[in-house]
Amino acid sequence: MMLKSIFAHKNLMFGGTIVVLVVLMAIAAPLLAPFDPVFDADLMNSEMPPGGEFLFGTDTNGRDVLSRVIHGARISLSVGLVTQILNTIIGVSLGLVAGYMGRFWDDLIMGLTNIMLSIPVIVFALAIMAALGPGLINLFIALGLTNWAYTCRITRAQVLSDKKKDYVKAAKSLGYSRASIMFTQIMPNILGPVLVIATLGSAEAILLEAALSFLGLGAQPPTPSWGGMLSSARDLLFVAPWLSIFPGIAIFVTVLGFNMLGDGLRDLLDPKSVGATKLGGVR
């Protein structure tokens, strides 16, 4: 049943396959990569075009681009994962408190959310990075603390509608404490939409990481990060285009994969979505 409906959703299938492949690539990076992404530098092989020993060519320092792209998946995925875990925990907790406690808490949290939403994430992240300094850990913090507003809003809206349902009234009358109503009763019911947002958010975070690394604020060289690779290939776009093309494709495909997976999950979790059965000859 479940499997059948997963196959019926093309987005889910396609996006899921991409994401699984990227994850496998990240896990098996040392096995897949023909060279070490950092230490196999040989200035004799500097800026070799794709082909032969180096399938994707080499960069200015003579490192294999293919190996660096493969290892770059680790950075991108960990950015997606870590930031979304942080965002989800913050967003869901704040949303639950705002929606369930109401009054003062609601005003406070929604005010904060609106402020977060009115400042572009990249500007916010830049400000944090400026204060903390560049680096991967700081990037996690910057992106993980700034992008929870949507999760919070969706959670709050869901809590407001679930709060009125009889099962919550029943829980109250059975003596459940406030915390257990929020976390054991209501929360499981909002994880579906939150998962969708987290998946779509991963794609956004991967793009942001690339952008911040491009600006020189993300993972520091020689760490192989897709955004960082693009950044250092900036001046060589016409001389050695493969330096930009391959990390660019990697970002594009991964982000596309996460976005399609997110859309697919949304369709799958939507109770109104129609089953797979087809009727022949509708009159």
Binding-site member from 38, 40, 189, 241 for another protein (CB under 8 A): 189
Could you tell me the smallest distance in angstroms from the CB atom of residue 232 to another protein?
48
Give the count of residues interacting with another protein (CB under 8 A): 29
Provide the residue type at 30 as one letter. Answer: P
Could you tell me the smallest distance in angstroms from the CB atom of residue 176 to another protein?
6
Outline where DSSP puts E strands in the chain. none
Q: Cβ contacts of residue 204 below 8 Å, gap of 6+?
A: 121, 147
Q: Which tokens go with 75?
A: 């950075």
Is residue 11 involved in binding another protein (CB under 8 A)? no
Is residue 234 involved in binding another protein (CB under 8 A)? no
With contact defined as beta carbons under 8 Å apart, do 246 and 163 qualify? no
Is residue 276 involved in binding another protein (CB under 8 A)? yes
As a whole number of angstroms, the distance between CA 220 and CA 226 comes to 11
Q: Which parts of 140-179 interact with another protein (CB under 8 A)?
A: 165-167, 169-177
Angle at alpha carbon of residue 82, lines to 10 and 250, rounded to 5°: 50
Closer to another protein by Cβ: residue 167 or 252: 167
Closer to another protein by Cβ: residue 113 or 185: 185
Closest CA to 121 of 95, 98, 149: 149
Binding-site member from 44, 103, 238, 278 for another protein (CB under 8 A): 278
Q: Residue holding tokens 């952008």?
A: 211
Binding-site member from 123, 179, 253, 274 for another protein (CB under 8 A): 274
Q: Which helix (H) or strand (E) holds 264?
A: helix 242-269
Which residues would be at the binding site for another protein (CB under 8 A)? 1, 4-5, 165-167, 169-177, 180, 184-185, 188-189, 274-279, 281-283
